[in-house]
Structure 1
Amino acid sequence: MAYVTGTALLAALVVGCSADTGTGSSAADSKPGEETVAAAAPGKYRTLPEPCRAVASSTLKDLLPGAAELTEEQQKKVYEGTAAVTYDTDRRVGCRWKSEDPSSSHSLSIDFERVVSYDPAVSDDDRAREVYTEKETSAGLSSPSATPENTKTAEDTKGTEKQTSPAASDDASDPASHALTSPVSEDANTDGTNTDGANNDDANTDDGADASDESLQPRILDDLGDSAFLDDLLTRAGSTAQHRTVSVVFRTSNVIVTVEYTEQPAVSTVVPDSRELQEKAQALARNLVEEFND
């Protein structure tokens, strides 16, 4: 007759009881008092649009008036735009267009940045919100309640000291650059007057300059994407050239979009129309928001 030793019987009973508990190996793996941290939700957008095709031809014709005077082949080249150099098209892309006519030159750039959080406890949206806030602060608009009065820099509060003019370059409209300059320049302070007395009359008398209109000051935009702001900078380069760049930056989920629209008149005494540039830049930004929402 078959039989088992007492030791073997005891081992069999232990195995049977363990199998009946239903706890499995997970109980052994977990540590007392240890909490499981759930990974944050990924961002809404996993890819980015092709930037040089993101702007409709009709919009480009309106923003780049000089192109209308070119030959059909030249117009096609202008409207195709130039893609920004990027090393990861899933994370950042951009495009730039430029046209010239006898009275002025115009340039347009757009930049799409898809923000990804590498912290499992921080969502892509939250990280994108942090990046956007940094840009907003750099533009002097650190609070949703910011107004032209409280966006002045420390230099502005001194009143009698003239700011140093920033060096003018094509980088002002480079889509790869996200470090927006201060909305206050040596040409136009926050109350819309010109700090350079010699050129003050030109800025205030030029048709469409709107230098004293507070509604055109750099500001938070409440009706664009999840959050947005507008920056407006007039820059002089010596005594013969000046250009105005209007920047609209907005966030939609985990993507940050920057639109920069620049006009440089051929005549140094002409001040670019701030209102017109702002309206056109905002209209384009709204179109881009709709494209992301489709």
Structure 2
Amino acid sequence: MHRSAPRLTRILACAAVPVMLVVAGCSSDSDSKGSGSDTGSSSSEGSSPDTKQSAATVEPAKFAKLPQPCKALASKTIEELVPKVKNKAGTAGTSSDTGVRGSCSWNGLEDKGVKGSNYRWLDVSFQRFESEAGLGSGEERAKDAYEKEVAKTRATDGAKGVKTSPAAGVGEEATAIGFGLKKTGEDFKYATIVARTGNVVVTLGYNGAGYAGAKTPDASALMKDAVTAAKEATTSVAKAN
């Protein structure tokens, strides 16, 4: 069987060069076409616009801003929980970005003469999370922060008799943490509510002690008041948006 002149010329030319070059440049016509076809298929799959877009898409954050922390609780609530409050307007915490994080606190000492004095402290803080392609949706990030805050509160240094339970009716999920703590020579009772609503985590702390013979606050009563205040604080997020 006779080979065509062009094909014979090509075979002879390939035979005259080193083996490495023959492998690289002198493959058959059918091999070249197959290789080109495979390369095109692989490139197409790797650069699929739909795949890239899907990986970069995250659910938009539910809430775009936070309420003013010192206005998140009504004046009536503050007066009831903190008798003889020093500053009804509250003391705002420092924040480099009030659109992402903010807090406020109130405290007061009710002097009952020979019956001693009742001290109360109330604080509330807010933390908002944006949706980011590399980190996840705002809600997912808030869920993670919520769980970490609960764990952090439970591990408060010196806390005794820590009790944890769900806080019903507060945001989308909430945990109530109660414990006792000895400081300034007195027995303090603490009630903390950590809640999440959408992409925002709300933490409300309420504690108190009895001085000069006054009774230590009842833990269950303290927690009940904290839950009521936490509901109000969490609701303020939706109102702000």
User: What's the TM-score once normalised by structure 2's chain length?
Assistant: 0.70
CA distance in 1, matches of 2:177, 2:142: 19
**1:181 and 2:156 equivalent?**
yes
**1:38 CA displacement:** 4.1
**In 1, Cα distance between the equivalents of 2:135 and 2:225?**
39
- Cα distance in 2 for partners of 1:124, 1:221 equals 22
| CA displacement at 1:127 relative to structure 2 | 1.0
After the TM superposition, which residues 90-105 of structure 1 pair with which residues of structure 2 at under 5 Å, given as runs?
90-102=99-111, 103-105=117-119
Report the count of equivalent residues: 187
Instruction: Tell me how far apart the structure 1 counterparts of residues 202 and 169 of structure 2 sit (CA, whole Å).
Output: 15
- Pairing 1:271–2:216 present: yes
Identity %: 26
Cα displacement (A) at 1:132: 0.9
Q: 1:33-52 counterparts in 2 under 5 A?
A: 33=46, 34=48, 35-36=51-52, 37-52=55-70
* Higher radius of gyration, 1 or 2: 2
Q: 1:181 to 1:119 in 2, by over 3 A?
A: farther
Match of 2:76 among 55, 58, 70: 58
User: Structure 1 pair 218/268, CA: closer, same or farther in 2 (3 Å)?
Assistant: farther
State the 1:32 CA deviation.
Answer: 2.7
Q: Which letter does structure 1 place at the counterpart of 2:237? A: F
Q: Deviations over 1:112-163 (max 9, x none)?
A: 10023444461111111111112223345xxxxxxxxxxxxxxxxxxxxxxx
* Superposition RMSD in Å: 2.3
Q: Counterparts of 1:181 and 1:220 in 2: how far apart (Å)?
A: 18
Which blocks of at least 5 consecutive residues in structure 1 are unaligned? 1-29, 68-74, 141-179, 191-216
* SS of match in other structure, 2:215: coil
d(CA) in 1 for partners of 2:153, 2:74 = 28
Q: Which moved more, 1:258-267 or 1:80-89?
A: 258-267
Aligned counterparts of 2:139 and 2:98: Cα–Cα separation in 1: 19
In 2, the alpha carbon distance for the partners of 1:130 and 1:119 equals 16
Measured at CA, do residues 105 and 116 of structure 1 come closer, stay the same or move farther in structure 2, by a change above 3 Å? same
Structure 1 length-normalised TM: 0.58
